[in-house]
Structure 1
Amino acid sequence: MPNTLRRLLLGPPLPTAAEGRERLSRPKAMGAFGLDALSSVAYGPDEILYALLLAGSAGLAFDLPVAAAIAILLAIVAFSYRQTIYAYPRGGGSYTVAKENLGVRPGLVAAAALSVDYLTTIAVSVTAGTAAIVAFVPGLNAHRVVADVALIVLLILINLRGVREAGAAFVLPAYLFVGSLGTLLIVGGVHLVLYGTPTPAHPTPAASQDVSLFLILRAFAGGCTAMTGIEAIANGVPAFNKPSSKNAAATLITLALILGVLFLGVAGLGRAVGAVPSDQSNVIAQIGHTFVGDSPLFYAVQISAAIVLMLAANTSFNGFPRLAAVMAEDDWFPHRLSHRGFRLAYSNGIIAIGAVAIALVVAFGGSTHALIPLFAVGVFLCFTLSQAGMVRHWQRHRGDGWRRKAAINGTGAVVTGVVTLIVVGEKFTAGAWIVVLLVPLLVGLFYGVHGHYNRVRQQLAIGHLPDQLYAPGQVIVPVSRLNRATAMALSYARSISDNVLAVHVAAETDADPDEFARRWREWTDDRIPLQLVPSPYREVVSPLVRLIEERARSDEGAVTVVLPALVTRHIWQEPLHNQLEYVLTLALLGKPNVVIASVPTRLPD
Structure 2
Amino acid sequence: MVVKRLSALKRFLIGRPLKSNELGEQKLNKTKALAILSSDALSSVAYGPEQILIVLVTLSAAAFWYSIPIAVGVLVLLSALILSYRQIIFAYPHGGGAYVVSKENLGMNYGLVAGGSLLVDYILTVAVSVSAGTDAITSAFPSLHPYTVVIAIVFVLLITTLNLRGVTESASILAYPVYLFVLALFILIGVGIYNILTGHVSPELHTPVGTPVAGISLFLLLKAFASGSSALTGVEAISNAIPNFKDPAPNNASKTLMAMGTLLALLFTGIVFMAYYYGVAPQAKVTVVSQIAEQTFGRNFMYYFIQGTTALILILAANTGYSAFPLLAVNLAKDKFIPRMFTVRGDRLGYSNGIIILGVCSILLILVFKGQTEHLIPLYAVGVFIPFTLSQTGMIFKWVREKPSGWMPKLIINSIGALISLIVTIMFFLTKFAQVWPVLIFLPIIIYIFYRIKKHYLAVGDQLRLTTCEPAMPIEGNVIIVPVAGITHVVENSLNYAKSLNPHQVIAVYVPFERQEENDFEAKWMKWQPDVRLVTLYSPYRSIIQPLLKFVDTVQRKASESNYQVTVVIPQFIPKKGWHNILHNQSGLVIRTKLLYRRKVIVTTVPYHLTK
TM-score normalised over the length of structure 1? 0.92
One-letter amino acid matched to 1:317: Y
Aligned to 1:579: 586
Structure-2 residue corresponding to 1:14: 18
Q: Confirm or deny: 8 A CA contact 2:139 2:290 kept in the other structure.
A: no
Deviation, structure 1 residue 321: 1.9
> 2: CA distance between counterparts of 1:252 and 1:460?
44
| CA deviation profile, 1:397-446 (whole Å, cap 9, x unmatched) | 333311111110111001101110001111102x2111122112211221
**Of residues 287, 302, 308 in structure 1, which corresponds to 2:292?**
287
1:89-132 CA distance string (max 9 Å, x none) = 22211110000011111101111221222222222223333333
Q: Flag the 1:73–1:441 CA change in 2: closer, same or farther, 3 A.
A: same
Backbone CA RMSD of aligned residues? 2.6
Q: Does 1:165 align with 2:169?
A: yes
- Matched with 1:549 is 553
Q: Secondary structure at the match of 1:211?
A: coil
Partner amino acid, structure 2, of 1:558: Q
Q: Deviations over 1:444-500 (max 9, x none)?
A: 221221122222222333229957554533111222243443333223322333422
Q: What's the counterpart of residue 507 of structure 1?
A: 513
Q: Is contact 2:129–2:317 with CA below 8 Å preserved after alignment?
A: yes
Report whether the alignment pairs 1:89 with 2:93.
Answer: yes
Aligned length: 601
1:347 aligns with 2:352: yes
Runs of 4+ aligned structure 1 residues displaced above 6 Å come to none
Secondary structure in 2 matching 1:66: helix
- CA displacement 1:256-298 (0-9 Å, x = unmatched): 2111111111112222323223224433223323332223122
Counterpart residue number, 2:570: 563
Q: Which amino acid aligns with 1:9?
A: L
Q: C-alpha separation between the residues in 2 aligned to 1:572 and 1:404?
A: 67
Which one of 225, 228, 232 corresponds to residue 227 of structure 1? 232
Q: Call closer, same or farther: CA 1:21–1:514 in 2, change over 3 Å.
A: farther
Aligned 8 A contact 1:566 1:601 in 2:
yes
Structure 2 distance, partners of 1:591, 1:237, is: 47
- Asked whether the equivalents of residues 62 and 207 of structure 2 are also in contact (C-alpha less than 8 Å), the reply is no
The alpha-carbon distance between structure 1 residues 538 and 150, as it changes in their structure 2 partners (threshold 3 A), is farther
User: For the structure 1 residues 262 and 487, does the alpha-carbon distance in structure 2 shift closer, same or farther, using more than 3 Å as the test?
Assistant: same
**Pair 91,496 (structure 1): closer, same or farther in 2 beyond 3 Å:** farther
Report deviation, 1:209: 4.7
Q: What one-letter code is carried by the residue in structure 2 that aligns with 1:110? A: A
Q: Are residues 1:30 and 2:34 paired?
A: yes
Answer whether contact 2:136 2:307 (CA < 8 A) is retained.
no
Residue 496 of structure 1 pairs with residue 508 of structure 2: no
Distance 1:469 1:437, change over 3 A: farther
- Deviation of residue 229 (structure 1)? 1.0
**Distance (Å, rounded) in 1 between the aligned partners of 2:388 and 2:141:** 38
Give 1:300-379 correspondences, 5 Å limit.
300-379=305-384
> Do the aligned residues in 2 keep the contact of 1:145 with 1:361 (CA within 8 Å)?
yes
Q: Which moved more, 1:287-296 or 1:257-266?
A: 287-296
1:152 aligns with 156
- The corresponding residue for 1:409 is 414
Q: Partners of 1:420 and 1:469 in 2: how far apart?
A: 62
Pairwise CA distance, 1:58: 6.0
> Which residue of 1 is the match for residue 596 of structure 2?
589
Which stretch shifts more, 224-233 or 590-599? 590-599
- Written as runs of structure 1 = structure 2, the 5 A alignment for 1:93-172 is 93-172=97-176
Answer whether contact 1:54 1:207 (CA < 8 A) is retained.
Answer: no
Amino acid at match of 1:246: N
Q: Distance in 1 between matches of 2:214 and 2:535?
A: 87
Shift of the alpha carbon at 1:502? 1.5
Question: Aligned pair 1:40/2:44, yes or no?
Answer: yes
CA distance in 2, matches of 1:322, 1:469: 45
Give unpaired runs (5+ residues) of structure 1. Answer: none
Using a 3 Å threshold, how does the CA distance of structure 1 residues 49 and 143 change in structure 2: closer, same or farther? closer
Specify whether residues 217 and 264 from structure 1 end up closer, same or farther in structure 2 by C-alpha distance, changes over 3 A only.
same
Cα shift at 1:55: 4.7
**Which one-letter code corresponds to 1:436 in the other structure?**
L
Q: 1:198 to 1:400 in 2, by over 3 A?
A: farther
The change in CA–CA distance for 1:99 and 1:595 in structure 2 (over 3 A counts) is same
- Stretches of structure 2 that go unaligned for 5 or more consecutive residues are none
Matches of 2:63 and 2:255, distance apart in 1: 37
Corresponding letter in the other structure for 2:363:
I
Distance 1:289 1:260, change over 3 A: same
Q: Distance in 2 between matches of 1:287 and 1:142?
A: 25
Aligned partner letter, 1:375: Y
Offset at residue 17 of structure 1 (A): 1.9
For 1:298 and 1:577, the matched residues in 2 are separated by: 60
> Conserved in 1, the CA contact under 8 Å of 2:166 and 2:349?
yes
Q: Distance in 2 between matches of 1:318 and 1:361?
A: 20
Q: What is the CA distance between 1:143 and its match in structure 2?
A: 4.0
1:29–1:167 Cα contact (<8 Å) kept: yes
Write the letter of the residue equivalent to 1:559: V
Q: Aligned pair in 2 of structure 1 residues 541, 4: CA closer, same or farther (>3 Å)? A: farther
Q: Which amino acid aligns with 2:533?
A: P
Cα distance, 1:596 vs structure 2 = 1.4
In structure 2, what is the Cα distance between the partners aligned to 1:161 and 1:302?
A: 28
Point out the more displaced range, 294-303 or 454-463. Answer: 454-463
Does structure 1 conserve the Cα–Cα contact (< 8 Å) formed by 2:65 and 2:207? no
Give distance in 2, aligned partners of 1:511 and 1:10: 58
CA deviation vs aligned residue, 1:36-68 (integer Å, no higher than 9, x gap): 211100011122223334454663343222212
Counterpart-to-counterpart distance in 1, 2:274 and 2:356:
41
- Cα distance in 1, alignment partners of residues 315 and 475 from structure 2: 58
Picking from 477, 481, 497, the partner of 2:482 is 477
Q: Kindly indicate whether the alpha-carbon contact (under 8 Å) linking 2:522 and 2:534 is maintained by their aligned counterparts in 1.
A: yes
TM-score by length of 2: 0.91
**How far apart are residue 200 of structure 1 and its match?**
5.0
Select 1:77's aligned residue among 75, 81, 85: 81
Counterpart of 1:573 in 2: which secondary structure?
Answer: helix
- Of the structure 1 ranges 362-371 and 338-347, higher mean CA displacement relative to structure 2 is found in 362-371
Mapped to 2, the partners of 1:351 and 1:546 lie a distance apart of 42
Amino acid at match of 2:37: F
Distance 2:28 2:520 in 1: 69
Taking the aligned partners of 1:437 and 1:383, their CA distance within structure 2 comes to 20
Q: Is the 8 A contact 1:31 1:168 kept in 2?
A: no
Are 1:507 and 1:538, in contact at CA under 8 Å, matched by a contact in 2? yes
Q: What's the secondary structure of 1:506's corresponding residue?
A: coil
Seen in structure 2, the aligned counterparts of structure 1 residues 207 and 56 have a Cα distance that, compared at 3 Å, is: farther
SS in 1 for 2:150: helix
Question: 469-478 or 31-40: which moved more?
Answer: 469-478
Q: Distance in 1 between matches of 2:550 and 2:433?
A: 55
Using the TM superposition, name which of 209-218 and 413-422 deviates more: 209-218
Q: Which amino acid aligns with 2:606?
A: V
